[in-house]
């Protein structure tokens, strides 16, 4: 029983929960922030710079207040448009930065919108083809059947 509690404590110490994502306490702040969906290397560096946190510092060494500050800056970033993952929203026209499930939902809605208006990109999405102009002769063959199917030969049993 005591062994289970000690294992749970060790696991709690090794994982830090930030913005509904588990981050290893051994990873640096710079690399650990990229585990959060929607946070890339550029935003991670910008957050470290804005909060004056050393990039090489370990997540386990951060206090709860610093972790809360990091999550607040990521939720409401005040950075230039080129750092945001949605620099101009179609509905509002504002620069937004989405993280986690919000990013997944918005991406899904964008693809549905492209399919609905029957744009070229929407058509490529609906046909499970590459959207960004890649060549398809050698790659992307796993999604469609190509090649010749051989028929089985029947050997007569009477001979």
Q: What is the pLDDT of residue 57?
A: 93
Mean pLDDT by 10 residues, the chain (159 residues): 57 78 92 93 94 92 93 92 90 90 92 94 90 83 63 75
- Angstrom CA distances, 61 to 24, 46, 56, 64, stand at 11, 20, 11, 10
The answer to whether 54 and 7 are in contact (CB under 8 A) is no
What's the CATH code of the domain at 29?
1.10.8.50
Domain annotation covers residue 128: no
Domain annotation covers residue 60: yes
Residue-number span of the structural domain to which 29 is assigned: 12-79
- The 8-class DSSP code of residue 154 comes to P
Q: What is the pLDDT of residue 139?
A: 79
Domain annotation covers residue 25: yes
Q: What is the pLDDT of residue 156?
A: 81
Q: What is the pLDDT of residue 140?
A: 79
The answer to whether 29 and 48 are in contact (CB under 8 A) is yes
Domain annotation covers residue 46: yes
Domain annotation covers residue 54: yes
| Number of compact structural domains in the chain | 1
Domain annotation covers residue 57: yes
- Angstrom CA distances, 93 to 25, 35, 79, stand at 38, 28, 16
Domain annotation covers residue 89: no
The answer to whether 70 and 133 are in contact (CB under 8 A) is no
Distance CA 59, CA 90 (A): 36
Domain annotation covers residue 34: yes
């Amino acid at each position: 029983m005591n062994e289970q509690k000690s294992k749970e404590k060790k696991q709690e110490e090794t994982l830090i929960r930030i913005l509904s994502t588990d981050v290893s306490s051994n990873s640096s702040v710079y690399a650990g922030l990229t585990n959060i969906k929607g946070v890339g290397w550029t935003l991670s560096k910008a957050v470290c710079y804005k909060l004056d946190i050393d990039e090489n510092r370990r997540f386990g060494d951060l206090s709860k207040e610093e972790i809360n500050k990091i999550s607040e800056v990521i939720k409401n970033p005040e950075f230039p448009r080129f750092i945001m993952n949605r620099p101009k929203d179609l509905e509002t026209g504002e620069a937004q930065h989405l993280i986690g499930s919000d990013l997944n939902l918005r991406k899904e809605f964008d693809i549905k919108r492209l399919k609905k208006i029957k744009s070229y990109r929407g058509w490529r999405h609906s046909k499970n083809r590459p959207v960004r102009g890649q060549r398809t002769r050698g790659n992307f063959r796993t999604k469609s059947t190509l090649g010749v199917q051989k028929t089985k030969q029947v050997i007569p049993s009477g001979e």
